[in-house]
Chain A
Amino acid sequence: MDLVTRHQQDIRLLRKPWQVVYVFVLLVGFLLLPAVASDYTLYIVTFVLVYSIGALGQNLLIGYAGQISLGQVGFLAVGAYAFAHAAKTGIPFFPSLLLAGSAGAVAGVIVGIPSLRLKGPYLAIATLGFGIAAAQALTNWEWISGGRMGLVVPKAELLGFDLGGTTATYYLYGAISAVFILATYNLTRSFVGRAFIALRDSDVAAEVLGVHLTRYKVLAFAVSSFYTAVHGALWGQLLAYLEPQMFTFIESVTLLAAVIIGGIGTVAGSIFGAAFVVLVPQLLSDYREGVPILFGVLIVLVMLLEPLGLYGRWIKTKLYFQNFPFR
């Protein structure tokens, strides 16, 4: 059914003609959404876009490279504050975003190097420690966080256009997250992504096959924290305001929940997961206290019953209908 005879075919982005149609429909839907949806819907979708970048970053790290991190909130804080301060000094939007991402990547390398010696639970603790220490240190440092008053993030401008409007932000964020989604697909089908997968499955075997462990582990941390820092920057820009209470351990858990509920080790899964962690609290806004229960129960169920998460369910449903009368 899915015969591949050459490597080129195996790594093609769109392997089937109907996938082209899917992507086209998605793109048109994305472009036309502002014509039909309310401002509120657009705002929420923009949030989903922001979270999908962070979830992709977390997924690259935990799903592809197999390195657990509970310290995403640290990178989130680094990105958000770097971006806010860059934007305040008058640096334009895209350079600020790049600066924030790079700051996050540097932080990722700083965490990644000591983490080379650690695995599994120990890595979880080390990253947890980093995340909380970094977020607390940044927010306690008044010069950076603006103290109790918080920090106002200036409105973005691009080539003289004001990007404050909901629709403009929606398109801008959509374009940025599309770039990140495409970049992730490209990364995972390149030799770098394959090296990540190899070191997730067995790092000793990967090293024997010539994957430079040090380089790729640190690279995984750098790339993932670049994503997370950009998530932080865009998040701050969207809320237009940063306050210390935003950067708590819960944010790390949310990103992890997004990846696990969505489907670990798949790009589409991260996006499903991001949509899930943003939409569910919105839909259940009358039962705010119930949201953590739902997340927790789902994480447990997914870990026990459906290791590939929502994405795995989707694939199984699709297969069921493809082979319909037969099982």
Chain B
Amino acid sequence: MVERFLVYGVGGLATGSLYVLVALGIVLVYRSTRVLNFAHGDTAVLVTFVAFSLLSVHAPFWIAFPLSLAVGAAGSALFYLGILLPAQRRGSNPVSQLILTLGLALIIQGATGLVWGAEPKVLEFPLSDSDTVSLGPVVLSHLALATLGVGVVGAAGLYLFIQKTRTGLAMRALSQDLEGVQTLGIPARRLLATAWALSAVLGGTAGVFLAPVLFVDPHFMLEPFLKGFAAAVLGGLDSLPGAILGGLLLGVAESLFGGFISVKFKASFAFGIILVVLLLRPEGLLGRPFKERV
């Protein structure tokens, strides 16, 4: 019993660390631009497909992976500068900005389907799902281990960037007061575009590491994206530590739920969590309670 609990728990941590990456991307954008990016998952799909193409022409993984992330980052920043920014300048409300990202999501879905086709593909990943390492009673595949590692590295890297660099400091200031930052002469638009690009990098990483488990098709990130969303809501939409906590909690809780209660309703579990969290504590576990000015 305890062993099963451990196995499911550690497995959940591995999945959870990918939810963390997705959630961090969502929170990063939401904090800085106040936009819920519904195209987050699709950007990750784009990154994964680019990686797939590069890997299938036998580019080494260490070249293909950063290159595809760069493509995703560029696309994401371009969307912000080219579409969202003009919309914000016209004073569009949060809901119509959200709908704009939905539009982008549809465009990417269609484009990836057009270029790479709808049939599922297998990404040639350098790590295998079947070779395992035993840590006491818990058996982990190389892939799960790498996934955990990537989650930790991504989250720690983002933490260091936000907390220890000048750019990070400017970003934190930006999320508090846009006009104040602009008055101080900090290039706010460039920083916001950077936030969008970083968000795509985080999401894209999650996509590439999920690809060996799921098959790659234009819709394969929808479910993980929605889970990342749930994790972000659970932790608090404007809190980066919250995204980490939420992602790990969701991964573990979901894995335990699937292991002990019902596999069939495992997928619906995360959305149940969204509803409960929004009902009881809409700002999430670590988020600041939001007040509204009338």
A interface residues, Cβ below 8 angstroms from B: 62, 68, 114, 117-122, 124-126, 128-130, 132-133, 136-137, 140, 204, 249, 253, 256-257, 260, 289-300, 303-304
Q: A-facing mask of B67-108, CB < 8 A → 1, else 0?
A: 000000000000000010011001011111011101111111
Known contacts being A117-B282, A121-B94, is A136 close to B267, with CB within 8 Å? yes
29 contacts between A and B (CB under 8 A): A118-B278, A119-B292, A120-B93, A120-B95, A122-B282, A124-B95, A129-B275, A132-B268, A133-B272, A136-B271, A140-B268, A249-B222, A289-B110, A290-B110, A292-B109, A293-B107, A295-B106, A296-B108, A296-B109, A297-B103, A299-B100, A299-B102, A299-B106, A300-B83, A300-B104, A300-B107, A303-B96, A303-B103, A304-B87
| B113 within 8 Å of A (CB atoms) | yes
**CA of A216 to CA of B22, assembled, Å:** 36
Q: Given B100, B229, B267, which contacts A125 in the complex, CB threshold below 8 Å?
A: B229
Chain B residues in 8 Å Cβ range of A118: 278, 282
Are the CB atoms of A121 and B103 closer together than 8 Å?
Answer: no
Q: A-facing mask of B230-248, CB < 8 A → 1, else 0?
A: 1001000100000000000
Are the CB atoms of A140 and B107 closer together than 8 Å?
Answer: no
Q: Given B83, B103, B278, which contacts A126 in the complex, CB threshold below 8 Å?
A: B278
Please count the residue pairs between chain A and chain B whose beta carbons lie under 8 angstroms apart in the complex: 128
Chain B residues in 8 Å Cβ range of A289: 110, 113-114, 118
What does DSSP make chain A's interface, helix, strand, loop or mixed? helix
**CA of A291 to CA of B107, assembled, Å:** 9
| Nearest CB of A to B110, in Å | 3
Known contacts being A120-B94, A137-B268, is A260 close to B230, with CB within 8 Å? no
Total count of chain B residues near the partner, CB < 8 A:
47
| B161 within 8 Å of A (CB atoms) | no
| B1 within 8 Å of A (CB atoms) | no
| B191 within 8 Å of A (CB atoms) | no
Chain A residues in 8 Å Cβ range of B5: none
| B264 within 8 Å of A (CB atoms) | yes
Are the CB atoms of B36 and A125 closer together than 8 Å?
Answer: yes
Known contacts being A124-B95, A137-B268, is A296 close to B106, with CB within 8 Å? yes
| B170 within 8 Å of A (CB atoms) | no
Known contacts being A121-B36, A136-B267, A297-B107, is A68 close to B98, with CB within 8 Å? yes
Are the CB atoms of B36 and A204 closer together than 8 Å?
Answer: no
| Nearest CB of A to B98, in Å | 6
Which of A117, A132, A290, A300 has the most C-beta atoms of chain B within 10 angstroms of its own C-beta? A300
Are the CB atoms of A292 and B274 closer together than 8 Å?
Answer: no
Are the CB atoms of B106 and A126 closer together than 8 Å?
Answer: no
Are the CB atoms of B275 and A126 closer together than 8 Å?
Answer: yes
